[in-house]
Chain A
């Protein structure tokens, strides 16, 4: 079988992008996946013993983006790890991959990012407060209902609302928001994974 150099280059580029997307998969498994897809592409694109550019283009189009294909391999594995570890960074890593596959993945990813950032901000503000009194929940101006959380100062127009209460409130609200976000994410992950699992034990 002969493969023209530009076709070979296209195959290599596709497979390199696939390999990059398989980060987190065991080296041996990743190599196996890449070689299986190489075999598929070459065999399907070959007509009369030669890989033609047109056929190669159509084979790669049908397979879809290498990043999305890699995500299909990786997502279930990462979501399983997220479910067992329950750590926010593991949950975020899993839902980032899930976001590449579906609309609900994007939405869960968005909620997780906002939830963890908000929770993290309250938590961090509570931890920094003893060292920097400027940190607080500030009302921006007398006629303005906008609030600002962080290391800032809106005097004399605005004032700080919580004072030292920021420490217990920040710890509770921050921790609560992080826990609630994890709870929502894990519930959605469980539901998603169940929908993809085989119903292996049918009622007899």
Chain B
């Protein structure tokens, strides 16, 4: 019984399964980095972050996922937030990177670049073979 449950828990989170599922996992996994990157050097509120992610990337962005994720990143000390009154008639919650958030964003970006460069070199033969 233990192995069945444990296996299922692993399956949902780790196993790539079909190519489509693998792509979804890949995009989901990049969401944290994309959020940290969108806040680099600027303050944005939730809806602006969502629009930036939708326009600037090919990520699958679910609104119901991004807000809890922002809250989790804040709890991890990577983001800070402040309420700012707006002309729209309601206050907006702006997020910005903390020093720790900046450090982690650049670490993750470096790691991402290194990883994709090494993977790309492995993929070169696939592009040549028709």
Chain A contact residues, CB within 8 Å of chain B: 1, 29, 32-33, 35-40, 42-44, 46, 62-64, 68-69, 72-73, 76, 102-104, 107-108, 111, 180, 183-184, 187-188, 191-192, 195-196, 198-204
> Is B23 in the interface zone, CB < 8 Å from A?
no
Residues from chain B with Cβ under 8 Å of A198 in the complex = 32, 73, 76, 104, 108
Q: Measured between C-beta atoms, what is the minimum distance from B13 to chain A in Å?
A: 3
CA distance A31 to B65 in the complex (A): 19
CA distance A43 to B46 in the complex (A): 11
CA distance A114 to B28 in the complex (A): 33
Most buried by B among A1, A73, A195: A195
Contact partner, B64, options A72, A201, A204, Cβ 8 Å: A72
Residues from chain A with Cβ under 8 Å of B111 in the complex = 199, 202-203
> Is B90 in the interface zone, CB < 8 Å from A?
yes
* New A-B pairs, 7, CB < 8 Å, besides A32-B93, A198-B76: A29-B71, A35-B93, A36-B93, A184-B2, A195-B14, A196-B13, A202-B110
The reply to whether B64 and A63 contact each other, CB–CB distance below 8 Å, is yes
Contact partner, B46, options A40, A72, A73, A184, Cβ 8 Å: A40
Q: Measured between C-beta atoms, what is the minimum distance from B25 to chain A in Å?
A: 10
The reply to whether A39 and B8 contact each other, CB–CB distance below 8 Å, is no
For B72, the closest partner residue in chain A by CB is A76
> Is B67 in the interface zone, CB < 8 Å from A?
yes
Residues from chain B with Cβ under 8 Å of A103 in the complex = 8, 12
List 8 contacting pairs A-B, 8 Å CB cutoff, sorted by A. A33-B67, A39-B93, A63-B63, A103-B12, A187-B2, A198-B73, A202-B107, A202-B110
The reply to whether A38 and B90 contact each other, CB–CB distance below 8 Å, is yes
For B64, the closest partner residue in chain A by CB is A64
The reply to whether A188 and B5 contact each other, CB–CB distance below 8 Å, is yes
Residues from chain A with Cβ under 8 Å of B24 in the complex = none
Most buried by B among A37, A44, A187, A198: A198
Residues from chain B with Cβ under 8 Å of A62 in the complex = 63-64
For B33, the closest partner residue in chain A by CB is A198
> Is B99 in the interface zone, CB < 8 Å from A?
no
Residues from chain B with Cβ under 8 Å of A196 in the complex = 13
Residues from chain B with Cβ under 8 Å of A32 in the complex = 93
The reply to whether B67 and A191 contact each other, CB–CB distance below 8 Å, is no
> Is B68 in the interface zone, CB < 8 Å from A?
yes
Residues from chain A with Cβ under 8 Å of B72 in the complex = 76
CB contact under 8 A between A42 and B90, given known A184-B2, A200-B104: yes
The reply to whether B64 and A1 contact each other, CB–CB distance below 8 Å, is no
The reply to whether A72 and B63 contact each other, CB–CB distance below 8 Å, is no
Residues from chain B with Cβ under 8 Å of A63 in the complex = 63-64
The reply to whether A37 and B90 contact each other, CB–CB distance below 8 Å, is no
